[in-house]
Structure 1
C-alpha cells in the first residue's frame, strides 16, 4: 500500500527471484517506490540487498518476477539501457576513476533531466558538496574515501535520474564525513528525489526514509513506515542484530 500523499508507480518490483548460477538469493521480493518517496532497505549481511540492486539494474538477470519503472518493464534490459530509463546507482565501494578529475567525472556523466524542473547541473552539485568544489581539479585517486563517496553520489546525480539507488553510501566513512553525506541526502529529500537507500545506520535511515523493507534470507520479512520501525525495537534485534 502506498504511503498517504505519495503518488504510486515509479518503481514496482513483484515476485522477484534472482541469484548466481544454481544459488538462488532472492525469493519473490515485492516492493514499490512512489514519485518523491524514499524507501529504506535493511537486513543483515548476505540477506540479498545488493543482489536486489544488481537485479533491478540488469547486472543480474532475474529468474522470475517483474521490475517496472514508470509502468515500463525493464527486466532483461542491459544495464546501460536501464540507466537511460532513469535509474542511477551509487555502488558499494565508490568505483571512481583514479585518473579523472572531479570536474571530468561530472562532465562525463552529465545528462539532461527526465522532465525535472530543477536539473542537477555541475554548479548545483558542487554547491551540494562544497568539498568537491574545493577539489574540482583533483583526480579521483587524490581524494579521501569520504570525498570519493561524495563524488560517486554527485556523479550519479549528474545523470539527472528519476530514481537514485544508494548501496551502503555511508559505510566505512569517518563520523564527520558520514554526517555530511546524511545532510546531502536530506537535501535530496527536500528536493523531491526518489531514492532506494541501503544502509546499516537504522536511526539515520528512519529520519530519512518514508518506508522500509527488511530482507531476511532473500525474502521480505517486514515492511512498514519509519514510525512503525521506530516504535518496534524488537524488529531491530530480530532482523538486524541491533
Structure 2
C-alpha cells in the first residue's frame, strides 16, 4: 500500500535556526495516526512544512504519491489536505453556517460528501448555533466548528493540531467520540495531542518526535508493550 502522506528525511527551520533533523512520518490511506512529543520538539514545524509554509531544506514530502514540498499552500489544500489548526482560527465575524460553507468542496471526490446537514448530525451543537457569530462560541464549540469546517472540504487527510487543547472534559470526550466515528468511516486522520490514553483508543499508528527527529514509530500493541516510551518522549 502506498502512503497517503510520506515525510522522508525532512530538514527545515526558521532562518538560520534548524528545527527538523531528518524527520520521517507516514500516514496510510484510511489510517488514524498520531504525532507525539513534548512542546518545542518540532510538531508544528512539521505541519508548517507539510502545508508549504516552510521550505524543505532537504528531504521530501509526498501526498497521494506527488511531491508537495515547494508547492504553494493553496495547491496543497486543494489536493485534499485539511488542517484543524492550533487555536482554531475560525472567522469571528461570520456565522457558524457561513464558517462551514466558506470553503465547502469535495476535494477527495467522496461519493457521500460531507454537507451542512451531515456536519450538523455529527455536531448537533453547531446546528443549534447556526446563526451565532464565531466569536460568540465557547472554546469547545469553536473546536467543533473548526473540525466541521475542515471536513466540509471533504479531504483525503484531516490533520488536527492540539485537537483538544483548552476545552472542557465533556466536550473533549465528544470530540474523541467524533474522531472515532471518522476513523471507522475510513477518514484518514493525523492527530497531534497529549492525551495518549484517548489517542490509543482512536489511532492505529503512533510516531514520536524529539528534537526534530523521529526516534520511534509503531502500532498500539507496540506502544502498549513499551510504557517507558511514554515517560521518555512525553513525560507521562
Category of TM-score, reference length = shorter chain:
over 0.9
Q: Where does residue 208 of structure 1 map in the other structure?
A: 202
- The answer to whether the Cα contact below 8 Å between 1:90 and 1:167 also exists between their aligned partners in 2 is yes
Q: Where does residue 55 of structure 1 map in the other structure?
A: 49
Instruction: Choose which of 115, 120, 123 in structure 1 pairs with 2:114.
Output: 120
Moved over 2 A (4+): none
> CA RMSD of the aligned region, Å?
0.9
TM-score between the two structures when normalised by the length of structure 2: 0.98
Distance in 2 (alpha carbons) for counterparts of 1:11 and 1:104: 30
Distance in 1 (alpha carbons) for counterparts of 2:2 and 2:68: 17
- The answer to whether the Cα contact below 8 Å between 1:113 and 1:119 also exists between their aligned partners in 2 is no
Distance in 1 (alpha carbons) for counterparts of 2:112 and 2:27: 21
TM-score between the two structures when normalised by the length of structure 1: 0.95
Q: Where does residue 177 of structure 2 map in the other structure?
A: 183
Distance in 1 (alpha carbons) for counterparts of 2:225 and 2:197: 12
CA drift of 1:239 comes to 1.1
Q: Secondary structure at the match of 2:93?
A: coil
In the comparison of the two structures, how many residue pairs are matched?
236
Matches within 5 A, 1:9-88: 9-88=3-82
Q: Secondary structure at the match of 1:24?
A: strand
Q: Where does residue 223 of structure 1 map in the other structure?
A: 217
Instruction: Choose which of 177, 182, 196 in structure 1 pairs with 2:190.
Output: 196
- The answer to whether the Cα contact below 8 Å between 1:210 and 1:226 also exists between their aligned partners in 2 is yes
Does residue 169 in structure 1 map to residue 163 in structure 2? yes
Q: Secondary structure at the match of 1:8?
A: coil
Distance in 2 (alpha carbons) for counterparts of 1:153 and 1:226: 24
Q: Secondary structure at the match of 2:3?
A: strand
CA drift of 1:113 comes to 4.1
Q: Secondary structure at the match of 2:102?
A: helix
CA drift of 1:131 comes to 0.7
1:129-149 CA-partner distances (Å, limit 9, x unpaired)? 011011011100000000000
Distance in 2 (alpha carbons) for counterparts of 1:112 and 1:164: 13
CA drift of 1:152 comes to 0.4
CA drift of 1:9 comes to 2.1
Instruction: Choose which of 91, 97, 101 in structure 2 pairs with 1:97.
Output: 91
User: Gapped runs of 5+ residues in structure 1?
Assistant: 1-6
CA drift of 1:78 comes to 1.0
- The answer to whether the Cα contact below 8 Å between 1:8 and 1:33 also exists between their aligned partners in 2 is no
Q: Secondary structure at the match of 1:213?
A: strand
1:200-226 CA-partner distances (Å, limit 9, x unpaired)? 000011111111100010000111111
1:168-211 CA-partner distances (Å, limit 9, x unpaired)? 01011110010011111111011101111101000011111111
Q: Where does residue 236 of structure 1 map in the other structure?
A: 230
